Structure 1
Amino acid sequence: MIWLTWRQFRTQTLAAAAALAVLAGYLLWLAADLRAYYDANITGCTTDCTDAAYRTLLGNEYGTKVLLIGLLVIAAPGFVGAFWGAPLIAREIETGTHRLAWTQTVTRRRWLTAKTAVVGGAGLVFTAALAGLLTWAVRPYDDLVDDRFTALVFSARNIAPLGYAVLAFALGLTLGLLTRRTLVAVAATLIAFLVLQLAVAGLVRPHFQEPVTEDMTLQEAEAIGNIDSFNVGEDGATLQGLRLPGAWVVSDYMDVTDAAGGAITTETIAECDPGAPPGECMARFGAHFDVTYHPADRYWTFQWIELAGTLVLAGLLLALAYWRLPRGVN
């Protein structure tokens, strides 16, 4: 049964292997180019050697390339599910070949197990290889830019893509069994997988653990992190775009108050020495704010939680397929 499945699936496997070889070649070139650029412009930096300047430099040079290849890794499981998983049963039913395949000595569940092991296993290997190569190739970029919790990075690195590969395949297979139409199953798989990824990134992942809320002074924030903007108006002071090393800052706009909890306004700032640096002025008033974030050490916990969640959901879909196949298709 496994040999027969390989014979039926070899064209797609060879095409995927060729695509993986091309992408691997590109990622090897990108890794070498990125590391050479890093050594020349960052390790060997002599002027304006700050993390903010480094991030800008690498972002301008490699940001688009890393983003596009990351999007490809995120989309790869969806294509596996739509074009490998969805037709697996739906095409057999549409062409009528299931009448022959399921009337032999091989049971329907054994047939499904062989198909799932070979086709689903190939999709998992393809996704794992692509995600592993990307994670290694752009590591200097990720370490410096430090946005590993963002949606387009988290789902494309390390082990999270593996769960999505299994989930997308199970989703496509089950939808193919339920709809019995290949094109309908392909379209439904792509849409459902996209909705799932958006829902996990925006609604589920932030609640894997309760975020930490911490009172932080402006001096502490400037010392350990980076602030995109700080504005003072008639109604008070606000801070936006705080970066903390390795952390996922959930807060967007944060109200900055003085030591007593009062508003810091333009009138307050007018009391400062005109020649004093803004940080020194804020320190005089004990400027502080509340920031809500997920600490850096939760990254791998979140990766494992997301992998486990997608595998559980995939298992439920496969269980439905195994239950439905002997009963719902004649």
Structure 2
Amino acid sequence: MTASTERGADAPDRIPGDHRHLWTVIRLHRPAMWVWIAFVVLTTAAMLWLRYGPYGTGAVEIQEGCGTAGVRDCSMIPNDAEALFQFWNLLDQISSVLRNIAPVVAAWAGGAVVARELENGTAELAWTQAVTPTRWLKEKLAVPALFLTVGTGALVLHFRTLLYWADAHNLLGAGYDIQDFYFAFGPSTVALVLFGLAIGVLTGFLARGTLPALAVAGAVTWISTWLMNPWRTQIWPTVTHPRKGEGPFGYAAMPCQWKQADHKYSVDACLGAKPASLYWPVQLVETGFLLLIGGLAVAAAFWLLRRRTP
């Protein structure tokens, strides 16, 4: 046997240990990875369909030319604007998916990754083969966090592109739904998904079983996002009759569609618009808060791990 052949045979053994552990984690938890990839692909497809499908193209036709001389004001919506109403409804639902469903999927992934290995004994086996418990948990956090950050970042960028396009075609109006948009196209959404992962990992240690971990992690994360929604929209000042904002986030503060004296639903329709200048304070405060709570959950998971191992 030649020296080159011997080197070829020995090459796999000289693959860096970190790379081997990375691929081991990915192969062991393929179901969780594919669920997240499917979520990203389906959400992306929904945004593409909303933009290029019948509701997006129909809404553009309804608003075409509005605001120019001789054409109605963009805030005066005709009665037969079903496509525009459906576009608003679906846009709001996509925003809700990013804010409420994405962290639940992340929590499910985190709970599955930890609980499955604790339940079938894979974790204890790894701890006896030169992998310390602390390193094991770091790997279980790092690999999903990488996938979740990349996937969520792509969804946020795509949603922001969709909002830019909608604003360019006069498809956005002020109202309390705009608050959801304000929180769905920035770094706080990524932090919210990582928060879900941290809750899932902690639940995996507490539940000690895959199915209980999935159920509890999903429920706790969903309840957390549900409780945060009112807090998120009430701590920041709103503008009842805003003007078009300046800068890249100005579309979040477009004029109200109805005058309070003219429409019985004016309070619901006009409350909640936020000026563009609040965007970064809103994003940074919520991002920091979520990372802090997620960090505490991760610290609790490491504490439970030390209690479990000698």
Shift of 1:110: 0.8
Q: Is the 8 A contact 2:175 2:270 kept in 1?
A: no
CA distance in 1, matches of 2:79, 2:28: 48
Q: Normalising by structure 2, what TM-score? A: 0.72
Partner of residue 144, structure 2: 119
Q: Confirm or deny: 8 A CA contact 2:191 2:287 kept in the other structure.
A: yes
Aligned 1:77-226 pairs, distance under 5 A: 77-82=103-108, 84-141=109-166, 144-147=172-175, 150=178, 152-207=180-235, 211=237, 225-226=256-257
TM-superposed CA distance for 1:108, in Å, is 0.8
Pairs within 5 Å for 1:292-307: 295-307=275-287
Equivalent position to 2:291, from 305, 311, 320: 311
How many residues get paired?
269
Question: Distance in 2 between the 1:109 and 1:169 partners?
Answer: 17
**Unmatched 5+ residue regions in structure 1?**
215-223, 232-237, 250-293
Output the amino acid matched with 1:94.
Answer: E
SS at match of 1:240: helix
Q: 2: CA distance between counterparts of 1:150 and 1:295? A: 11
Could you tell me which amino acid in structure 2 is paired with residue 104 of structure 1? Q
How far apart are the structure 2 equivalents of 1:3 and 1:100?
17
Which residue does the alignment assign to 2:18? none
Change (3 A) 1:137 1:100: same
Give the conservation status (yes or no) of the 8 Å contact 1:228–1:240.
no
Task: Work out whether 1:6 is the aligned partner of 2:26.
Answer: yes
Amino-acid identity (%): 24
2:1 corresponds to 1:21: no
Pairing partner for 2:51 from 31, 45, 48: 31
CA deviation vs aligned residue, 1:247-302 (integer Å, no higher than 9, x gap): x36xxxxxxxxxxxxxxxxxxxxxxxxxxxxxxxxxxxxxxxxxxxx644213311
Q: Say which of 48, 51, 57 aligns to 2:72.
A: 48
- Checking the alignment, whether the CA contact within 8 Å between 1:228 and 1:242 is kept in structure 2 is no
Taking structure 1 as reference, are residues 192 and 52 closer, same or farther at Cα in structure 2, changes over 3 Å only? farther
For 1:240, give the aligned amino acid. V
- Measure, in 2, the Cα distance between the counterparts of 1:78 and 1:6: 20
Q: 1:147-179: CA deviations, max 9, x gaps? A: 476554344323221011100000010111122
> Measured at CA, do residues 93 and 21 of structure 1 come closer, stay the same or move farther in structure 2, by a change above 3 Å?
closer
- What secondary structure does 1:318 align onto? helix
Match of 2:304 in 1: 324
Tell me which amino acid in the other structure corresponds to 1:325.
L
267, 281, 284: which one aligns with 1:240: 267
Report the residue type matching 2:102 in the other structure. A
In structure 2, stretches of 5+ residues that fail to align are 1-20, 241-254
- Matched residue of 1:145: which SS? coil
Mapped partners of 1:56, 1:206: distance in 2: 34
Q: Secondary structure at the match of 1:51?
A: coil
Question: Is the alpha carbon distance of 1:37 and 1:151 closer, same or farther for their aligned partners in structure 2, counting shifts above 3 Å?
Answer: same
| DSSP 3-state at the match of 2:261 | strand
* Cα shift at 1:80: 1.6
Determine if contact 2:152/2:190 at 8 Å carries over to the other structure. Answer: yes
Higher helix share goes to which structure?
2
1:254 counterpart residue number: none
